[in-house]
Each structure stands twice: as C-alpha cells, then as structure tokens.
C-alpha cells in the first residue's frame, strides 16, 4: 500500500545518513546498500546535462511563470489586493502573478495550534475578507490586471474535524519519523499514499474551479519525500481537470527526480537583505529574509 513515503514498514523510505564536518571536508556514513552516481565533467553545463540525463529534464514553465510574481504574507482584504494590483498597472511595473499567504484561506495561522487542531481554523475554502467572491474576483483580475493568482499551501492540517477524519483514514504521517516541533509533526499529511493524495485533491479542486492557477508549497522540510508526493497530488488533480494545462508550483525545497514529474522552482532565500517594493504602499526598506515581512516580494 506504500509507494515510497515514510512509514516504519518501509525501510527504503529512509536515508540513514550521518555526517560530520571537518576542516575543509565532510565525512559521512550510510548503513545498508546504496547507489552512488559520479558525474565528472569539465564544465557546469556538461555536469548539468549528465544530472538531467539521470533524473529527467525539467519541462518549460507556463508563460506567466517567467514574469514577476508579487508575494505577500499580510494582505488585509479584497480592497488591499486590488489597490496593490492597480498600483502595479498604473505605475507601469511589470507583474504577471501574485501570491496570497494564510489569509487567502483562513483568518489566522496554525503555528500555535496543538496536535488536535482547532475548530476555528480552516484548512480549505476562502477567507471572506480577502476573497468574498473568489470566482468573480479571480476572473476579473485576469481580465483587468492580466495576473494569475497562486495560493500558499501547508503540508499539514489545522482543523480538528479534518484531523480526526484524516487520522481515522490513515492519511497522517508517523510523527516520530519527522523533524520539527511535535505539535506540527502530529498534524502532518502522508502524501506518499495514493489515497491521501486523492483525498487532498478533492479538497483542492474548488480552488481550481474558482480560478487559482498555481501553488506556493511551504514548510515541507520535515520529511525528505513530502515535497515530491505533495506536488504529485496537485499535478494529478490538475491533469484530471485539464490534461493539457501546464502545472506550476513554487517550493521551498528540491529533491532529485522532481523535475520530470512536476514544475518546481527553488525559492530558498539567503540571509541577505532586500528592499520591500513601493507598490505595496510602503517606503522602501530593508527586511531580513527569514522574517515574515520577507514574503512581500519574490
């Protein structure tokens, strides 16, 4: 029943890797058999060609993904979204897509929720403050501002009823195999199971029906396989709805083998500072990229 994800019954799902840092070197140990691929190459280009010949070449992204994407954690309401989009267009700033964080589907984040979740938290659906009429809004944003909307997703649940349903069905992961805070790990979805992916897709489908175009998959680092199977769930849903439409997602981490199956873009940022854009109605200011304010611009 398992097709590659983290369960105690599948020892192949774990990399028992231990490493230590020395002066100018890394020493690592691995228990059991493993495959090691060596790709000596005279140039980075030749090395990349060898790498993609092994894992598969990435496909071409949708056209809008080549443009500028404005991302923000903290959109206030529908008027705030439309004010910013209008400022981009009226000021002649390039923008092809925008991303909405927690506030597109719920009214507060889940970082402080316990393992049992909360009846007040909403994992799916739209926040009435930012998207009171989602289908009409997203259609108008495409027609008026010529932008696509992407929504953030988390690999866990926060609503207590959905958590109970997922646990009864076996859709949640074994928290002991994950990294991170316990109250987060105990709400983690195991996307490696096909039934979990199908269930998750059913809950995402209303977003596609409303006009959401792509996903920002965030905080899946607790398990090595999460981002891969999570994207497979989203890709399969899109292919069922529209077999010819290109799938696109932004992900905070990358695993080899993902490009041929999904369109994944690395979004990890360094600890350097950047300038927050004036299109958000603020003075240009520096912000550390690890802070929430860093998601104002991508």
Domain range enclosing 142: 63-263
- Are residue 116 and residue 218 in the same domain, yes or no? yes
In a domain, 180, yes or no: yes
* The pLDDT of residue 29: 79
Counting the structural domains of the chain, the total is 2
Q: What are the tens digits of pLDDT across the range 231-251?
A: 999 999 999 999 999 999 998
- Are residue 31 and residue 147 in the same domain, yes or no? no
Residue (of 13, 39, 20) closest to 255 by Cα position: 13
* The pLDDT of residue 166: 97
| β-bridge partners, 100 | 72, 151
- Are residue 79 and residue 138 in the same domain, yes or no? yes
* The pLDDT of residue 278: 37
- Are residue 168 and residue 253 in the same domain, yes or no? yes
Q: What are the tens digits of pLDDT across the range 71-126?
A: 999 999 999 999 999 999 999 999 999 999 999 999 999 999 999 999 999 999 99
Degrees, nearest 5: CA angle 232-228-115: 100
**Residue 145 belongs to a domain with what CATH number?**
3.20.20.80
The rounded distance, in Å, linking the Cα atoms of 161 and 115 is 12
In a domain, 75, yes or no: yes
Q: What is the pLDDT along the chain (298 residues), one digit of tens a residue?
A: 334 444 445 544 555 667 788 888 888 877 777 778 889 999 999 998 998 888 887 778 899 999 999 999 999 999 999 999 999 999 999 999 999 999 999 999 999 999 999 999 999 999 999 999 999 999 999 999 999 999 999 999 999 999 999 999 999 999 988 888 999 999 999 999 999 999 999 999 999 999 999 999 999 988 888 998 999 999 999 999 999 999 999 988 877 766 443 444 443 333 333 333 334 433 333 333 344 444 433 3
In a domain, 34, yes or no: yes
- Are residue 120 and residue 256 in the same domain, yes or no? yes
- Are residue 32 and residue 180 in the same domain, yes or no? no
In a domain, 272, yes or no: no
> Max CA-CA distance within the chain?
61
């Amino acid at each position: 029943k398992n097709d590659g994800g983290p369960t105690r019954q599948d020892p192949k799902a774990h990399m028992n890797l231990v490493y230590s840092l020395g002066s100018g070197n890394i020493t690592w140990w691995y228990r059991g058999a493993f495959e090691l691929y060596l790709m000596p190459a005279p140039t980075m280009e030749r090395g990349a060609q060898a790498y993609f010949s092994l894992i598969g070449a990435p496909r071409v992204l949708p056209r809008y993904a080549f443009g500028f994407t404005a991302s923000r954690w903290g959109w206030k309401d529908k008027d705030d979204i439309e004010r910013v989009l209008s400022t981009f267009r009226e000021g002649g700033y390039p923008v092809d897509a925008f991303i909405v964080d927690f506030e597109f589907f719920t009214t507060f984040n889940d970082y402080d929720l316990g393992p049992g979740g909360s009846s007040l938290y909403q994992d799916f659906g739209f926040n009435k403050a930012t998207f009171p009429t989602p289908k009409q809004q997203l259609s108008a944003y495409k027609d008026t501002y010529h932008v696509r909307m992407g929504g953030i997703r988390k690999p866990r649940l926060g609503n207590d009823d959905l958590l109970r349903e997922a646990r009864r069905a076996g859709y949640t992961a074994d928290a002991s195999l994950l990294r991170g805070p316990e109250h987060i790990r105990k709400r983690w979805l195991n996307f490696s199971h096909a039934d979990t992916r199908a269930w998750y897709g059913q809950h995402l489908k209303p977003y596609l029906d409303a006009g959401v175009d792509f996903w920002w998959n965030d905080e899946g680092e607790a398990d090595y396989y999460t981002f891969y199977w999570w994207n497979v769930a989203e890709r399969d849903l899109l292919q069922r709805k529209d077999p010819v439409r290109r799938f696109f997602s932004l992900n905070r981490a990358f695993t080899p083998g993902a490009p041929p199956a999904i369109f994944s873009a690395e979004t990890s940022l360094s600890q350097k500072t950047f300038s927050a854009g004036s299109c958000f109605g603020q003075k240009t200011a520096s912000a550390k990229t690890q802070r929430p304010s860093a998601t104002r611009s991508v």
